[in-house]
Structure 1
Amino acid sequence: MVIHLDVGREKSIESLEKAMMNDQQIFLAAQKESAIDEPSPDDIHKIGAVAKVNQMLKLPNGTMRVLVEGLYRAEIQQFIKDEKQFFVEINKIEDVHHKKAEEDALRRALLEQFEYYTKISKKVSKESLASVIDIEEPSRFADVVASHITLKMSDKQEILETKDVIIRLKRLLDIISNEKEVLELERKIGQRVKKSMEETQKEYYLREQMKAIQNELGDKDGKTGEIASLRKKLEKKKLPDRIVQLVEKELNRYERVPQSSAESSVIRNYIDWILALPWTEETEDNLDIKHAENILDEDHYGLEKVKERVLEYLAVQQLTNSLKGPILCLVGPPGVGKTSLAKSVARAIDRHFVRISLGGVRDEAEIRGHRRTYVGALPGRIIQGMKKAETINPVFLLDEIDKMSNDFRGDPSAAMLEVLDPEQNNTFSDHYLEETYDLSKVMFVATANTLATVPRPLFDRMEVISIAGGYTELEKLHIAKNHLLTKQLRENGLKKRHLQIRDDALLKLIRVYTREAGVRGLERQLASICRKAAKIIVSKEKQRVIVTEKQLEAILGKPMFRYGIMEEENQIGAATGLAYTTAGGDILSIEVSLSKGKGKLTLTGKLGDVMKESAQAAFSYIRSRADKFKIDPDFNENYDIHIHVPEGATPKDGPSAGITIATALVSALTGRAVRKEVGMTGEITLRGRVLPIGGLKEKSLSAHRAGITTIIIPADNKKDLDDIPESVREGLTFIPVDHLDTVLEYALLGGFT
């Protein structure tokens, strides 16, 4: 080899100068450790090369640059001590040759590998390859090839020390094969990096082109702007880590999908829903019980049990912060204020309010949502409600939960089980979101007119608060004056000075223009009065309208109902029963007529199976006690009996008409009149025992409205008297009975013995 060397050590420089003065030859050997500045003989390899110094040049920094040409291998025999230079005695090393054919074969193999090496390596020039090809002698060929390939210092020294030419060629073949693999790998990595860079540059170029096109079209933001905007929203919104990862994944997908693709809008809608939902946003509860009590009293008159339950919830919240949201179910007839009460609860504790109506919902997907694979998929009503609420702890009203039904699309009430179960709703699963959502901090309030149609598992998960029976006349009067009239004046653009309705007019309005458990019909009538007053004031006829009892008929027309619908005089074969309906309590007149015949029993009035069975039981009991009642024992063979309940278009059923039917039958068969002021409720057995019933409060209110003063009730229902408002109890006399004989004693005129 002919190479340049930079020499800096003083000893080495003096050695070079000494060589230049003699035959210009110098012995070159490698240090075992290059970091040693003052090597000893033991730090130098024994085998090196004798070289001729062809040129020597002094550099400005004091070092010497020399051009040397390697001549032959040599081995140090002895170091000669000298303070200024290293002197050594050397022996020339001769190559060891074996079979020439094997050497030639190895040379050709090495040449082939070297040629391929030069193709993939950028460090060997074509001229170098040409100069190597011309070398025929295997030993020299091996040394020149070794000089052109990248070798470690140890490998170079090994090649230099190898005397046997065949071994040297084989060793070089191994080294060049390894180098070739490394270069192949480097080339592949380089190609990958280059391709990646090209794709990045291409993507950047296309994006810039897209921006330019969008600017030309007037769409300055385009999809890139959308994605940037969505990422800003994601950064601002506090989301759980799993949701952040989900949105990032969807954003990356959205970025790659063409905007014209149908999937693009699906992904965008999904991201919008995720970012619109509250995940951590929460309002702070106002736990001041006095404040809550004032708001509830301000918004609603009566309903003490419901108010008490809400205040209990707040009291527990003050003591612990780990209370799960309660699930209340307000049950009562229409118009008693169930929905407005839920709004008041939200206002009392400073929570957001959201309402969904479940009436007529028959598809499970309405609750759980549709999967995103469907066209036009949306989350269920629960998640939609949470989006409207904007917080994770609203008061959530599930209106008309008893009106849900099911069909081939699934049972929505089954999906509601997870929503209303405090142990499960912290991981509510919506098909659209595909991620669990925490509903545990939501205060759910459900409303229903009746529990009969609410599935048992759903009913079991709710705390039922009954607003049964509706309001008394006095309560309606108070609600009309302090709530409904004020609201209708505001909605119809009137001031208090424009319209005044006297108490006697309001009372007549309640009695003969409405008949309901709630106050919805009453509000409609008040709205009608306000509209007529507005017309009078606008037409400048009057500046102030005063409505009295006498003027009511001129404003609203003839009364719709007759107040005090009990019989005006004592009747034979007619008894007044008390019934419970979804609209509250009502009175039920039962009539019996006898005619000559063959004992045919006819039941009319659209009666249900339970009432028909009650009539049969009453008929059988009277036959068995004919002697005691002083009735013809063969009356069932000589008379046709017709039992009728008026208002035949209205379906009627229930287990509380037994004693009423029996009383009317006995009255008709004995000719004894039934006292007009007596109402009754209770079921009868074949032995004449009176069984307890439900809905006593509702029935008592209806009796009170109808002007009845005495109510016969089963003895087992005495415990329910405490639920009846005191104002109603004062105007009624309750007679607990346990046998039909006692009923007849009080119900028939002049008693019964």
Structure 2
Amino acid sequence: MKNNIIQLPLLPLRGLLVFPSMVLHLDVGRDKSVTAIEKAMMGDHQIFLASQKEVSIEDPEPKDIYQVGSLAKVKQMLKLPNGTNRVLVEGIQRAEIIRFTDKKEHFNVEIKLLEEEHGEPNEEEALMRSLLELFGQYIKISRKITEETFATVSDIDDPANLADIIASHLPLKTKDKQELLEIKNVKQRLEKLIELISNEKKVLDLEKKIGKRVKTSMEKTQKEYYLREQLKAIQKELGEKDGKTGEVGDLNEKIEQSDMPERIVEVAKKELDRFEKIPQSSAESSVIRNYLEWLLALPWSKKTNDTVEIKHAHRILDEDHYGLDKVKERILEYLAVQKLTKSIKGPILCLVGPPGVGKTSLAKSIARSVNRNFVRVSLGGVRDEAEIRGHRRTYIGAIPGRIIQGMKKAKTINPVFLLDEIDKMSNDFRGDPSSAMLEVLDPEQNSNFSDHYIEETYDLSNVLFIATANYVNHIPQPLLDRMELISIAGYTEVEKLHIAKEHLLPKQLEENGLEKNKLQIRDEALLSLIRTYTREAGVRNLERQIASLCRKAAKIIISGDKKRVIVTKKNLVEILGKPLYRYGRMELEDQIGAATGLAYTAAGGDILSIEVSHYPGKGKLTLTGKLGEVMRESAQAAFSYIRARTNELHIDPKFHETYDIHIHVPEGATPKDGPSAGITMATALVSALTGQAVKKEVGMTGEITLRGRVLPIGGLKEKSLSAHRAGITTIIIPEDNERDIEDIPESVRNDLTFIKVNHLDQVLKHALVEEK
């Protein structure tokens, strides 16, 4: 030994640490470690013990071993039957590795012995007493260290030795023990050890409190179990079977296994306690039972995994619905935003359109495309607020409102929830249900929806609400403000034809038990069916007529008259009877005082013939044909414009003094209104007064001002299709409606010539036959 520096074999320890004056048994199994022990035994039995930084390392490198360890003496070595060597070692003194001299067969290190650094004796004495007192308190709480150990430790006078012996008995982490081993100053070591024991004592105190609490809880549970078993035995002796106790047990088990939040579980347990105490014959007993069953039946956290894939959703919407391109586009935009934001919060979609256009089936398709459960609630005729919010439990026969009922049917917290016919809600003295719907449809409020029956708040924020309506005007403004409207105007004839071939006919063939080859309906027959047997925006009546054809075909086949039925335009009347409707046709020749207008109706588009006649009189203007207020005003505007422009139009300036004018729109039983007949009326008037005929192949639509300006109109797609159907080849439209031409099907668009105008003079130029 020179300057306290010596060379010794190194034994790396895993999860252990040896302090000076500490005697410990070690099990040694690694080859390098066994070689190091054998080398020490061949010499003066001295070895250096240092801990590994990571226990999991099997073959450590010098960087994986702490620098400070203990110089120790191998007292005994014993080979066990399993091949492990058990070694008894005694720590002698702290030491620090200076360098590694050998790493092949075993680690050989050069170490420097570390001397203890003592401070003020009185200070160390005071710290020793504090440490002993704390150690004694710790022993009483832990009960893992014997009183004899404390007695032995109390006799130690050396503060350094005392700190090491106490540290060796404490269940500290290897990292904390290493920190103590590396502290050479005795005073600092005592202070650190006092801090560590204080922390351990606090942890033990907390463990003791938790243990007492668990024990008390277990005793209470055991007591309740014992009393319940006694109650069962008493009921058995009295001849009662399970009685109410069995029912309570079943409900309690369901509550424990349910997915209810903790606050709802507490409410349910409280109600169950009341249920248990109330006699079974009491009316309140059944009220509580029903309430508990509703709580258990509602989904509180169960949800389906959303699969918002835009391509998949687009494919499903195209499978289920033909046409409606703008509607589908808006729905896909809505789903794309939901996927990006991972949130349902946003506008509530409201599908608005006439009956039979597929609003409900669109909502079903949305549910299928995002892999969510679908639930529908019809709001038609609902006039009581309790229908939405539920009844108070104090009322006889009280039940939750339709929203909570719908969630029970849905069985998940994130269904697609259809509020059907939201415009059909009304109100009376019992409240306004549309006001109750405000909370349901407001994304900022519906996470805490309150139903009067359930009483506890229910989270609706994960629900995808979709509403449907026929008329926007019937929806209250505050409710409308919470929804985004998607208008479904209806289907064109071309779209109806595709829907009939691809959806309605296959469905009805299956429902009526017909094979595909047993009934064939030609395209011209389907088109005739659409035009002359139905008049609607949707396809509901069309489906009924196809169903009627299927039934008649089934009768013919079963009767044995034919094995196969082919429906053509010719035999359609024989099978279904006379047509129910007629559609407008263009004039066969140019007419004076008659112009063809284009109209938009609830059933799509139609042509509108406007006739003008003048005869001697005093300038009286007569309007017939059940015209609405707007059409009457359009006629007045056209009349005023012509009076102001008699010179330019080559009309007698005093015609209003010598002639009466009669404007008539045929089909007088059908109400007609709208501004788009303005230029048609003006053209018919000019034709009648000038004697110039109106071209038979020209149809027109547009609103007129007193100065002759032509203003834009709506429904150009439907109007163009009706014109095409009637055989019209040229359509005069307002210049501002040019953007709507692209909405018209290409097959129809290619057969029509669109003339864009912004003034009545241009209309007359293209509509009237030139004078020879």
- Confirm or deny that 1:380 pairs with 2:380: no
Name segments (4+ residues, structure 1) moved above 6 Å.
200-214
Match among 521, 545, 548 for residue 565 of structure 2 = 545
- Residues 170-319 of structure 1 mapped to structure 2, 5 A cutoff: 215=240, 220-319=241-340
Which string of whole-angstrom CA distances, capped at 9 and with x for unpartnered residues, describes residues 376-431 of structure 1? 33322222221211111111122223333444444333332322222222222223
Task: Give yes or no for contact 1:325–1:443 (8 Å, CA) kept in 2.
Answer: no
| Residue 212 of structure 1, CA deviation | 6.7
Q: Which residue of 2 aligns with 1:723?
A: 743
| Residue 599 of structure 1, CA deviation | 2.9
Q: Which residue of 2 aligns with 1:558?
A: 578
Specify the SS of the correspondent of 1:549: coil
| Residue 213 of structure 1, CA deviation | 6.8
Task: Give yes or no for contact 1:419–1:439 (8 Å, CA) kept in 2.
Answer: yes
Question: Which whole-Å CA distance do the structure 2 matches of 1:640 and 1:410 have between them?
Answer: 56
Q: Which residue of 2 aligns with 1:515?
A: 535
- Residues 307-386 of structure 1 mapped to structure 2, 5 A cutoff: 307-324=328-345, 327-386=348-407
Counterpart of 2:500, as a letter, is A
Structure 1 residues 649 and 627 mapped into 2: Cα distance closer, same or farther (>3 Å)?
same
- Residues 41-80 of structure 1 mapped to structure 2, 5 A cutoff: none
* Structure ID, larger Rg: 1
- Confirm or deny that 1:707 pairs with 2:741: no
Counterpart of 2:248, as a letter, is I
| Residue 557 of structure 1, CA deviation | 1.5
Task: Give yes or no for contact 1:336–1:471 (8 Å, CA) kept in 2.
Answer: no
| Residue 292 of structure 1, CA deviation | 2.7
Structure 1 residues 409 and 625 mapped into 2: Cα distance closer, same or farther (>3 Å)?
farther
Task: Give yes or no for contact 2:303–2:414 (8 Å, CA) kept in 1.
Answer: yes
- Residues 618-657 of structure 1 mapped to structure 2, 5 A cutoff: 618-657=638-677
Q: Which residue of 1 aligns with 2:217?
A: none
Which string of whole-angstrom CA distances, capped at 9 and with x for unpartnered residues, describes residues 160-180 of structure 1? xxxxxxxxxxxxxxxxxxxxx
Specify the SS of the correspondent of 1:656: helix
Q: Which residue of 1 aligns with 2:760?
A: 740
Specify the SS of the correspondent of 2:342: coil
- Confirm or deny that 1:412 pairs with 2:433: yes
Counterpart of 2:352, as a letter, is V
Task: Give yes or no for contact 2:493–2:530 (8 Å, CA) kept in 1.
Answer: no
Question: Which whole-Å CA distance do the structure 2 matches of 1:393 and 1:703 have between them?
Answer: 47
Counterpart of 2:274, as a letter, is R
Question: Which whole-Å CA distance do the structure 2 matches of 1:462 and 1:418 have between them?
Answer: 12
Structure 1 residues 494 and 201 mapped into 2: Cα distance closer, same or farther (>3 Å)?
closer
Match among 441, 454, 475 for residue 454 of structure 1 = 475
Question: Which whole-Å CA distance do the structure 2 matches of 1:699 and 1:402 have between them?
Answer: 27
- Confirm or deny that 1:614 pairs with 2:639: no
| Residue 238 of structure 1, CA deviation | 0.4
| Residue 319 of structure 1, CA deviation | 4.2
Task: Give yes or no for contact 2:537–2:602 (8 Å, CA) kept in 1.
Answer: no
Structure 1 residues 497 and 700 mapped into 2: Cα distance closer, same or farther (>3 Å)?
same
Q: Which residue of 2 aligns with 1:400?
A: 421
Q: Which residue of 2 aligns with 1:664?
A: 684
Specify the SS of the correspondent of 1:229: helix
Match among 438, 463, 468 for residue 442 of structure 1 = 463
Task: Give yes or no for contact 1:325–1:442 (8 Å, CA) kept in 2.
Answer: no
- Residues 579-590 of structure 1 mapped to structure 2, 5 A cutoff: 579-590=599-610
Which string of whole-angstrom CA distances, capped at 9 and with x for unpartnered residues, describes residues 414-450 of structure 1? 3323222222222222233222222221122222334
Specify the SS of the correspondent of 1:479: helix
Counterpart of 1:486, as a letter, is P
| Residue 716 of structure 1, CA deviation | 1.8
Tell me how many residue pairs correspond in the alignment. Answer: 548
- Residues 678-717 of structure 1 mapped to structure 2, 5 A cutoff: 678-717=698-737
| Residue 306 of structure 1, CA deviation | 3.1
Question: Which whole-Å CA distance do the structure 2 matches of 1:709 and 1:229 have between them?
Answer: 77
Specify the SS of the correspondent of 1:285: coil
Specify the SS of the correspondent of 2:756: strand
Question: Which whole-Å CA distance do the structure 2 matches of 1:492 and 1:732 have between them?
Answer: 40
- Confirm or deny that 1:527 pairs with 2:547: yes
Match among 431, 449, 452 for residue 431 of structure 1 = 452
Question: Which whole-Å CA distance do the structure 2 matches of 1:221 and 1:588 have between them?
Answer: 79
Q: Which residue of 2 aligns with 1:600?
A: 620
Question: Which whole-Å CA distance do the structure 2 matches of 1:270 and 1:497 have between them?
Answer: 56
Counterpart of 1:567, as a letter, is E
Which string of whole-angstrom CA distances, capped at 9 and with x for unpartnered residues, describes residues 79-114 of structure 1? xxxxxxxxxxxxxxxxxxxxxxxxxxxxxxxxxxxx
**Structure 2 runs not aligned, ≥5 long:** 1-224
Structure 1 residues 708 and 751 mapped into 2: Cα distance closer, same or farther (>3 Å)?
farther
| Residue 353 of structure 1, CA deviation | 1.0
Q: Which residue of 2 aligns with 1:25?
A: none
| Residue 616 of structure 1, CA deviation | 2.0
Q: Which residue of 1 aligns with 2:48?
A: none
Specify the SS of the correspondent of 1:580: strand
**Structure 1 runs not aligned, ≥5 long:** 1-199
Structure 1 residues 244 and 628 mapped into 2: Cα distance closer, same or farther (>3 Å)?
same
Which string of whole-angstrom CA distances, capped at 9 and with x for unpartnered residues, describes residues 126-184 of structure 1? xxxxxxxxxxxxxxxxxxxxxxxxxxxxxxxxxxxxxxxxxxxxxxxxxxxxxxxxxxx
Q: Which residue of 2 aligns with 1:496?
A: 516
Which string of whole-angstrom CA distances, capped at 9 and with x for unpartnered residues, describes residues 512-554 of structure 1? 3333332222211111111011112222333322223322221
Counterpart of 1:718, as a letter, is E
| Residue 206 of structure 1, CA deviation | 8.9
Match among 598, 614, 618 for residue 578 of structure 1 = 598
Question: Which whole-Å CA distance do the structure 2 matches of 1:569 and 1:432 have between them?
Answer: 72
Counterpart of 1:699, as a letter, is K
Question: Which whole-Å CA distance do the structure 2 matches of 1:675 and 1:360 have between them?
Answer: 51
Specify the SS of the correspondent of 2:260: coil
Counterpart of 1:244, as a letter, is V
Question: Which whole-Å CA distance do the structure 2 matches of 1:212 and 1:659 have between them?
Answer: 96
